Every structure is written in structure tokens, then in C-alpha cells.
A = this chain, B = another copy of it.
Amino acid sequence: VTLAAPEAPTVPALDFVFHPRAIAVAGASRREAMGFNGSMFVSALLEAGFDGPIFLIHPTVGALRGLKAYPRLTEIPDEVDYVISSVQAQFVPQLVEDCIAKGTVRVLHLFTAGFTETGHADRANMEQTVVARAVAAGIRVIGPNCMGLYAPSGRLAMATGQTMEAGPVAMLSQSGFNAQEVVRYGLPRGLRFSKVVSFGNGSDLKAADFFDYFADDPETRVITAYMEGIQDGPRLAGAIRRASATKPTVILKGGRTEAGSRAANSHTASLAGSSQVFDALCRQAGAIRVDSLEDLIDGAVAFQFIRHIAGPRIAFVGGGGGASVTGADALQAAGLELPDLLPDTAQQIAKITPIAGSSVSNPVDSSALFMDEAFEGTVRPCAEAANMDAIVFHMNFGGGAVARRYDVRKRQELIANTFGDLQRETGKPMVVAIRNPITPDSLEQTIQMQELLYHNGIASFASVERAARAIAMVLRRQKLLA
């Protein structure tokens, strides 16, 4: 018997975009880190440790921040395949000519704004002309009016503070702000990214291109998107369908209201299209449509950490009677269920639970959870119970007298390790909701806790309500695929 050779991993067509070999930045300011200009990208790429050369294009100086500068792209002696433009819009036509003349440029990232989104016809014309000219010469354009790429495997970043530790989550975004927010808020929650692309007006490369790319990208397992406009509707619909068929796909569509739609037009020259049509498209494609950036991040966390959940039955555990009641409401309102504890589960927990101020039912609200030795004794029976598909545990730091009794680090490790073990042993998702910290100390503790949870493969959320909505997304996708 001759076995077929394993198929070589396919490299998706746009892979070159995310793996440039030499970068030139036009428009870096002499004043380091003076805000919103090419210097940002220089800082980001240097911190990311981009492993090819970075050249600068500057009219007067010979070097900036240790990087060699040239007055024109065409004067750079090395091959350059990726150009970042932060010059003003009126200088872009010349830069495009230089890119073409250079002969080796494959991608032009136009951070430069001031084109169609201004609403001025002459500027819309200028955008169309320069992009058409570049594309005709075989150069792909990202933008204009965007932040470009964050891609750990290419050692690319669009801002400082973006880790080179890669993960399974991809994002395509018409807003650089929102792309950066998802990374900024996602990282402490344990989100790790394969590729993030901010593509602004999407004059050449657009949502459909990136959906296609992420669908084929072996580094990507979860796809998220922030879109403002519907460009090339039928092609986009097909791309979302293909992406969603193989990978969980979570989409936030800006411009779902008339006011938002006008804002989208001013922002990225986007025509928002009908929200109902887009809704139907997502539903048919099996993509999860969300209404806020918080939900987008939460969905990404859920899909990164929760590979599978057998059903909607949640054991809801934590201290605090009022929090138990409102949390139970939030879980059920999101479509989850809180079955009664089985007699055996209840017995095991009751043995170690004080009768006053605790409740051995579902939710489990027990002061035993605050005693080191009784913590696992309370949550293990819930995790092992035949009638539970997952645990949602709620907690916070800095909440008054009780918190001061503990060695915080020891307690953090106890919780993270116990849930890590239980998740591995039972295959059931363990999910932790940490209420928002409101002091610097408790924020530090929350960040530490989230990191420990991440290393144990545990999803964390900022409230039970948000955890509930995110778990419901995973269930919804499983149902759509079933």
C-alpha cells in the first residue's frame, strides 16, 4: 500500500502581505514619538523586532533613530517590498510613482488619510487614481486611512505594546482605533493574535480579501472583523460564508443605525448598506454578529479558549448572595441553564459548607470558597457532576474585609490551577468572571489572575453577564454547524 504524501500546507495567496522582507517608511517625523505619524510605525516595528531592514524616506536628514534615511524611495540601494506612507495626501501620487519605479515594492500601506472619507470629490478622485495606478503596476494597497498590520509571525506591529507571542485569533478592521482596542483589551484577557489588519477605506485590499486569507491561513483558528461598509456585496457574502464554514467568525458591523452609518461614511467613506441584509447574510453564513467591541472581544476569548461545550447547563459558583441572584438572571437571560445540583453533588458540598450565609444549590454561594482547603472540595463536585456542562465562577479583588484575609498570590494560584486541572480532567469549560477592579492594587491583582488563567487555558470575562453572552456564542455556533 502506498500512502499518499501529506499535503503540503497551503500558503494562502496574500501571505506575502504579512511577511515583508524590507520596509521603507515615508513621513517619519524627526521628533520621536510625537504622536500620530510615521514615527509610531518606526517605534512599533523596532519594538516588534522586525527582522529585515527598515529604511526611512526623509527629505533632509540622513538617519533617524539609528535608521538610514534617503530623500527618495528610489535612492534606497536595497530591495524594498513594503512601503508605509505617512506623508500628506498630496505627496502620495509621487510616492506611488517611486514605488513603481523601484520595481521591488509589492505592498503599499497608506496610513495617509484625507481621501474619499473627507467627502471632497477631488480627494476621492485622487484616491481612485493613485490606487488604480499602484494596482495596475502589481502593487497591493492597504488603506488609505488605516493602521496596517500586526502580525507576530512577520514580526510586524502597528503600535507599541503588541506582543510577538502569537495566537489563533485574526482580526480584520476598517478602524485602526478599534483594531488597537481589541489588541489592547484582548492581551490581558489572554487573547493572542495570528494577524490583525486595519485597512481603512479598503480601496484595494478589502474585507473579502482578508476573510479569504484568514479562512486559508493555518495560523488562524478564530476570525473577528470590524466592518463599516459593504464593498462588493456578493463577493463579500461568499468570503464570509467560506470563512465561517471552517472557523468561528465574529463580526461587528459599525453603522447599524442611521447615525452610525453617517459616521461610517465620514470615517472610511463607507456605505453601510442595510443592516437587515447584513444580518441575514451573517445568519445564513453561520457567522456571529455582535453589537459592541466588548462583545467582539468576549466572543474571541470564548472561541480561543472554549473548543467545545457539551450543552447549556452551567454550575454557577462564587461568593455573594446578590451577585448570585443577578448572575443567575444574566446566565439564563443569555439562554443558558442552571440545573439543580444532583443529590450527590449537594451532599459533597454541604459537608464542608457552613449553614449560615451560604447556599448549597445552583448557584452555589458558599463562604467555603474563601477557605483554601474547601475551595476544590466545592468546585470539583460541580465540575464532575453529570448534569453540568461547564462552570462559571465569579470573583473580584479588593472587595472589602474578606479579601484581606488571604495571601492573594496563593489564592490566585489555587483558583487558576484548580480550574486548569478540572478543565483538563473533565473536558468541560471552566470560565471565570472577575468583576472590574476599581483600585490600582486590585487591577494589578486582576491582571495577574488573568495571566494565571491564560496559562491554564481558562477564559476570563469582566462580568457574569459578558461571560454568559460569550458562552452563548459558542453554543450558537455549535448549533449552526450541527
Does A255 touch B at the CB level, under 8 Å?
A: yes
Q: Which residue of B lies closest to A118 (CB)?
A: B355
By size class, the interface of chain A is 35 or more
Q: A356 to B178, Cβ gap below 8 A?
A: no
Chain A 265-296 against B: per-residue CB contact (8 Å), 1 yes, 0 no?
A: 01110000000000000000000000111100
Q: B254 to A329, Cβ gap below 8 A?
A: yes
Q: B401 to A177, Cβ gap below 8 A?
A: no
Does A377 touch B at the CB level, under 8 Å?
A: no
Q: B118 to A325, Cβ gap below 8 A?
A: no
Q: B181 to A355, Cβ gap below 8 A?
A: no
Cα–Cα distance between A386 and B161 once the two chains are bound (Å): 43
Return A265 CB to nearest CB of chain B, in Å. 9
Chain B residues with CB below 8 A from A175, complex form: 320-323, 325
Q: B255 to A325, Cβ gap below 8 A?
A: yes
Q: B356 to A112, Cβ gap below 8 A?
A: yes
Known: A328-B263, A365-B266. A322 touches B161 (CB 8 A): no
Does A248 touch B at the CB level, under 8 Å?
A: no
Q: A40 to B401, Cβ gap below 8 A?
A: yes
Chain A 294-330 against B: per-residue CB contact (8 Å), 1 yes, 0 no?
A: 1000000000000000000000100011111111111
Does A338 touch B at the CB level, under 8 Å?
A: yes
Interface residues of A in 374-413 (CB under 8 A from B): 399-402, 404-405
Return A411 CB to nearest CB of chain B, in Å. 13
Contact of A226 among B262, B322, B324, B465 (CB under 8 A): B322
Known: A256-B329, A260-B328. A113 touches B404 (CB 8 A): no
Cα–Cα distance between A329 and B292 once the two chains are bound (Å): 9
Residue of A327, A329, A333 with most chain B CB atoms under a 10 A cut-off: A329
Return A126 CB to nearest CB of chain B, in Å. 12
Which of A76-84, A99-107, A419-427, A436-444 binds B?
Answer: A436-444
Which of A8-16, A17-25, A30-38, A50-58 binds B?
Answer: A30-38
Cα–Cα distance between A159 and B255 once the two chains are bound (Å): 45
Cα–Cα distance between A35 and B463 once the two chains are bound (Å): 24
Q: A404 to B329, Cβ gap below 8 A?
A: no
Chain B residues with CB below 8 A from A462, complex form: 436
Q: A254 to B401, Cβ gap below 8 A?
A: no
Cα–Cα distance between A465 and B326 once the two chains are bound (Å): 20
Copies of this chain in the oligomer: 2
Known: A292-B330, A333-B256. A405 touches B34 (CB 8 A): yes
Q: B35 to A402, Cβ gap below 8 A?
A: yes
Cα–Cα distance between A331 and B439 once the two chains are bound (Å): 29
Chain B residues with CB below 8 A from A330, complex form: 292
Return A17 CB to nearest CB of chain B, in Å. 21
Return A446 CB to nearest CB of chain B, in Å. 9
Chain B residues with CB below 8 A from A322, complex form: 173-179, 181, 226, 228, 254, 267, 293
Does A117 touch B at the CB level, under 8 Å?
A: yes
Q: A361 to B266, Cβ gap below 8 A?
A: yes
Does A89 touch B at the CB level, under 8 Å?
A: yes
Residue of A260, A355, A365 with most chain B CB atoms under a 10 A cut-off: A260
Does A194 touch B at the CB level, under 8 Å?
A: no
Does A43 touch B at the CB level, under 8 Å?
A: yes
Does A347 touch B at the CB level, under 8 Å?
A: no
Q: Which residue of B lies closest to A370 (CB)?
A: B35
Does A264 touch B at the CB level, under 8 Å?
A: yes
Q: A329 to B359, Cβ gap below 8 A?
A: no
Q: A328 to B36, Cβ gap below 8 A?
A: no
Chain B residues with CB below 8 A from A444, complex form: 440
A177-B320, A255-B329 given; 16 more Cβ-contact pairs under 8 Å = A33-B401, A35-B405, A113-B357, A114-B356, A160-B401, A178-B323, A254-B326, A256-B333, A257-B329, A259-B362, A260-B328, A263-B325, A263-B361, A266-B359, A267-B322, A436-B462
* Residue ranges of A at the interface with B (Cβ–Cβ < 8 Å): 33-36, 39-40, 43, 88-89, 112-114, 117-118, 145, 159-161, 173-181, 184-185, 188, 226, 228, 252, 254-260, 262-264, 266-268, 291-294, 316, 320-333, 337-338, 355-357, 359, 361-363, 365, 367, 370, 399-402, 404-405, 435-441, 443-444, 447, 462-463, 465
Closest 5 CB pairs of A and B: A175-B322, A114-B356, A178-B322, A260-B329, A257-B332
